[in-house]
Every structure is written in structure tokens, then in C-alpha cells.
Amino acid sequence: MSVPAVRCARSRSAARVAAPDEPTFECHGTVVRLQSDDASLLARLQRRLPPGTRPCVGGSADVAYRVRRSSADAAGAAGHVLTVQSAGAERRVRLARTPDQDVLVARFAHDVQFRVALHAPARLFVHAGAVAWQGRVIALPGRTWTGKSTLAAALLRAGAHYYSDEFLVLDESGLAHAFPRLIHLRSLDGRTARHVRPDALGVVGTMPLPLGMVVATAYRAGAPWRPRSMTPGQTALVLLANAVVARTRPAHALRCIARAVDHGVTGLRGSRAEADDAARRLLDLAGDLFAGSPAP
């Protein structure tokens, strides 16, 4: 069954109206347009759009990507150039010039997720893993290399419902929404990585849910699991420090975070060692705290 297109009207004059052969999409309110002179490559880009993306009809784009064939480089290899322009920007930015389509598509997939987070008008994206347990969301804020994807995967194997390993998405009422991208798992030395479908490990959540716990933790070999409590103010500051638009739209970020914390959130801070052990302990603690909440 095909996904119905949605209307995406925009009043921004900085972004032009799409041509018929330029597919346009909407994700969390951000409108993305694609353009390429290579039909097969365009199809590959569409398959790497963020989770929750839907075809969009009409309006102007917040973000416009363009892929063009490039001339041969110094080694004699021809390839493609990927550029992007955001609404209001004066010029396009080059993201990649490479003969390797896998590299180009991966660069696009990473960039488009960030720009959806940056432009979403009524959502706040926080760098955090997120799972649901007993009707509430457990957030694992942190940037790259803190081990949030590994812990999110462990929580999923332990029975939690997957929401994201990269972005906690809050709406203006403070509810958390799923952003179920592929789980990006690195080896302990960081030299290798693989993408895992979350539904291969457990259940993927879909319902907006209140935030229940914020756990600021990072991997440290041999660390005991002894988390310390955070005050509501400290918990809010941890979320703000990891919010994508903390500097560009601070009032919006603070409003969404304040309403999320108002749902009654437990904040914890501390290092953790082996992910599966930490996940089991965390869910046991959350089960006691969330007792009586409906299942997601």
C-alpha cells in the first residue's frame, strides 16, 4: 500500500516551488526536496530519508539537495557531487564529491537527519537514545561515542520498545515521539560499525509517550552501575545541552524541555560498563518508578 502524500504549504519566499520531477517529502514538519540527473541514485537517496518521512505535495522546501555527475578527478574516476541549500541561505553547500555512491548516500543520510532536526518547526530534537518501558520513555542523552546506541540496543533486547538511538523527539506538549532509524553499532575500538534493523532486536514503538527517565551515562570499562540522582533542573540542563537548536532557538528548546520534565521525570547520572547488565538494572529500576503506567 502506498503512503498518501501530504500537503506542505509554506510561506517562506526564500525557497522556490518544486518542479514536477523533483520529489518532495515531509518529516516532522521539515520539507525536503531532492534533485538528481541519475534516476537510480535518486531512488537510493529516497530510501535513506529519515524515518517517518512522507511524500509531500505543494509548497516550498526547507532543505533542497542536488546531485550532479562530476568530471573525472585526478585519478581519472568520474563521480557525483552532492550539494544542499537551506531556506534563507544565499548559496549551496557541497557535502560530497566522490565516485563512490555508497559514500555519497551515507553522507546524505547523515546530513538529512540533522537538517530535519534543525528545521522541525514544532518538534525539539535532542541527541539521545530513547526507548519506551511501561508507558514512559527512557532517554539516554549524549553525543557520538558515548555508547547510547549500544545501550539502546541492549534495552531493546531486554524488552523495551525502541524509539531511537540518535534523537529524542519532543513535541510542544512535552511528549516523546519515535524516530526509529537503523541502529548504528560500533565496535569497542571504534574501527568498525554496522547498521542493525531495530525490529530484528525487538519491538519498535509508535505512540507519543510522556518522558519518564533521563539517564546521562557513558561507557567506561569496569565501571560499576551506581547512578546518582539529578534534580529536575539538572535533568533539564542535560537535555538542553544535547538539543540540536539550543543556540539557534533556545526559547523553543526550553519550552519543550520544561513541559517534558513536568510529566514527572527521574534524572540519573553515572558511568556504566557492560551494556546488557546496565540495561537489565535500568529497566528494573524504571519498572519500580513507572509502576501503574499503561504499557506502550
Cβ 185 vs Cβ 236: under 8 Å: no
Through-space distance between the first and last CA atoms of the chain, rounded to whole angstroms:
26
Q: What is the pLDDT of residue 99?
A: 92
Contacts 24+ apart (CB under 8 A), 68-77: 68/36, 68/37, 69/37, 69/38, 70/97, 73/97, 73/99
Q: Per the domain annotation, does 75 fall within a domain? A: yes
Question: 84, 113 in Cβ contact below 8 A?
Answer: no
Whether residue 294 lies inside any domain: the answer is no
Separation in Å, CA 27 to CA 132, 183, 188, 282: 21, 19, 33, 31
Q: Are residues 201 and 241 in the same domain?
A: yes
Residues in Cβ contact with 13 at an 8 Å cutoff, skipping those fewer than 6 apart:
none
Cell of residue 141, nine digits: 542523552
- Cell 526547507 -> residue: 62
The answer to whether residues 113 and 128 belong to one domain is: no
105 and 138, same domain (yes or no): no
As a whole number of angstroms, the distance between CA 286 and CA 291 comes to 8
Amino acid at 137: V
90 and 157 in a single domain? The answer is no
> Residue written as cell 551506581?
226
Q: Is there a single domain that holds both residue 164 and residue 94?
A: no
Predicted pLDDT at 216: 96
Average pLDDT, the chain: 89
Q: Are residues 103 and 140 in the same domain?
A: no
pLDDT attached to residue 5: 66
The domain of 16 spans 6-119
Does 275 fall in a domain?
Answer: yes
In a domain, 105, yes or no: yes
CB-based contact 31:87 (threshold 8 Å): no
Note whether 276 and 133 are same-domain residues. yes
Secondary structure E strands in the chain: 6-7, 24-27, 30-36, 54-57, 63-70, 79-86, 93-98, 123-133, 136-141, 161-164, 167-171, 175-177, 183-186, 193-196, 209-216, 228-230, 266-269
Does 249 lie in the same domain as 161? yes
Q: Does one domain contain both 72 and 194?
A: no
Are both 70 and 171 inside the same structural domain? no
Q: 62 and 186 share a domain?
A: no
Instruction: Compute the half-sphere exposure of residue 284: CA atoms within 13 Å on the CB side of its CA.
Output: 7
- Please choose, from the candidates 132, 159, 137, 140, the residue with its C-alpha nearest in 3D space to the C-alpha of residue 218: 140
Q: What confidence score (pLDDT) does residue 188 get?
A: 59
Single residue among 64, 97, 119 that ends a domain in this structure: 119
Report the predicted TM-score, pTM, of the whole model to 2 decimal places: 0.89
Residue 199 sits in the same domain as residue 255: yes
**Alpha carbon distances (Å) from 122 to 45, 111, 117, 170, 190:** 25, 20, 10, 9, 35
Provide the number of structural domains found in the chain: 2
Residue 244 contacts residue 117 (beta carbons within 8 Å): yes
Confirm whether 87 is domain-assigned: yes
Q: Within a domain: residue 1?
A: no
Could you tell me if residue 145 is inside a domain? yes
| Amino acid 13: pLDDT | 37
Looking at 94, 119, 144, the residue that finishes a domain is: 119
Residue ranges in the chain modelled with pLDDT below 70: 1-7, 9-21, 72-76, 187-192, 292-296
Contact 271, 265 (CB under 8 A): no
Alpha helices of 85-216 — where are they, by DSSP H? 101-119, 148-157
Confirm whether 296 is domain-assigned: no
C-alpha cell at position 198: 531495530
| Cell numbers linked to 108 | 546524505
CATH number at residue 218: 3.90.228.20
Among 119, 151, 181, the domain-final residue is 119
